[in-house]
Amino acid sequence: MRGDVQTFDLAEVTRRSLNQALHDATDGASFEVVNPRGAHAVACGITSDIDVVVRGSVGYYCAGMHQQGRVRVEGNASTGLAENIMSGEVHITGNATMSAGATGCGGLLVVGGNSGARCGISMKGVDIVVGGNVGHMSAFMAQAGNLVVCGDAAADLGDSIYEAQIFVRGDVESLGADCVEKEVRPEHLDTLGRLLAAAGAAAGGADPGDFRRYGSARRLYNFTIDDVDALAAEAAVEREVAGR
């Protein structure tokens, strides 16, 4: 934390006044938020290089659209944590519920505990490190970025994945459509080492060598031959109908 810390007590002031102050802040400012009591949209839309520490659990869309700076939540977060994060860092010490890091385009999201269903859904470049487990359909339709899971992954991991990479240290209940295990090469160990270091204590000293890598089989990129047959049959019917 740099400079003087400005404290907002959400039992006393409105969340809107907090978010406005964060939007008006200049680079280097530091903020502390107390008594969040599960409020939604805490510390959303930050666009300057500031530090925010939230002491307690937050509701939906905490640090949504995060663009610069660092948000640290000492507690749990509900649906849509760091949704559409662009850059910067969001770090929570506890658990996140559904859709953490959804559609994130860049930056780093660290969840110290578990993350619920659909973690990293449609991620587009964000790096996500989860100290515990992730729920079902995590990295669903993920397009770019890295999802690192130090614990286990629930059913249908990486369903319909494009080009993101998934690393899991524990068990994978099942892989979703078109998601397959892939070889871990030296460049993947480098990526893992960098992300685990960035996650700090949340990663619990995990060794990059303990992770398995999953990604797209790229079978959903094109029509299969069966689809071509179906299209050809349809075209033949159309020609027949047109010829009558």
Partner 1 sequence: MCGIVGLFCKTQTHRHELGRLTEVMLGEMGDRGPDSAGFAVYDASTPDRSRITVLAEGLAVDWEPVAADLETALNAEVTVRAVHDHAVFSTDGDGRAARQWLIDNVAGATVLAYGSQIELYKAVGYPDQVAERYDLASRTGTHALAHTRMATESAITTAGSHPFATGADTCLVHNGSLSNHNRLRRFLEAHGESFQTENDSEVAAGYLSWRIRSGDSISEALEGALDDLDGFYTFAIGVADGFAILRDPIACKPAVVAETDDWVAMSSEYRAIARLPGAADADIWEPEPARIYSWSLAA
Cβ 79 to partner 1 shortest distance, Å:
6
List 30, 95, 191, 216, residue binding partner 1 (CB under 8 A) = 95
Q: Between 102 and 192, whose beta carbon lies closer to partner 1?
A: 102
List 8, 30, 56, 139, residue binding partner 1 (CB under 8 A) = 56
Q: Point out which span in 22-30, 95-103, 172-180, 215-223 binds partner 1 (CB under 8 A).
A: 95-103
User: Cβ(138)–Cβ(157) under 8 Å?
Assistant: yes
Place of tokens 């907090």: 18
Q: Between 30 and 138, whose beta carbon lies closer to partner 1?
A: 138
Q: Point out which span in 72-80, 104-112, 184-192, 194-202 binds partner 1 (CB under 8 A).
A: 72-80
Pairwise CA distance, residues 101 & 120, whole Å: 5
List 72, 136, 188, 213, residue binding partner 1 (CB under 8 A) = 136
2 forms part of the interface with partner 1 (CB under 8 A):
no
Q: Between 37 and 194, whose beta carbon lies closer to partner 1?
A: 37
Cβ 95 to partner 1 shortest distance, Å:
7
Q: Between 116 and 208, whose beta carbon lies closer to partner 1?
A: 116
Q: Which pairing describes strands 179-182 and 212-216: parallel, antiparallel, or unpaired?
A: antiparallel
106 forms part of the interface with partner 1 (CB under 8 A):
no
15 forms part of the interface with partner 1 (CB under 8 A):
no
Helix (H) or strand (E) holding 215: strand 212-216
Angstrom distances, CA of residue 198 to CA of 41, 44, 205: 25, 22, 11
Helix (H) or strand (E) holding 32: strand 30-34
Both ends of the chain: CA-CA distance in Å? 78
117 forms part of the interface with partner 1 (CB under 8 A):
yes
101 forms part of the interface with partner 1 (CB under 8 A):
no
Angstrom distances, CA of residue 113 to CA of 1, 24, 124: 23, 32, 23
- How many C-beta atoms surround the C-beta of residue 225 within 10 A? 8
User: Cβ(67)–Cβ(49) under 8 Å?
Assistant: no
60 forms part of the interface with partner 1 (CB under 8 A):
yes
Q: What is the dihedral of CA 147, 165, 117, 125, to 10 degrees?
A: 70
User: Cβ(50)–Cβ(25) under 8 Å?
Assistant: yes
List 98, 100, 142, 195, residue binding partner 1 (CB under 8 A) = 98
Q: Between 31 and 140, whose beta carbon lies closer to partner 1?
A: 140
Write out the residues near partner 1 by the rule CB under 8 A.
37-40, 56-57, 59-60, 76, 78-79, 94-95, 97-98, 116-117, 135-136
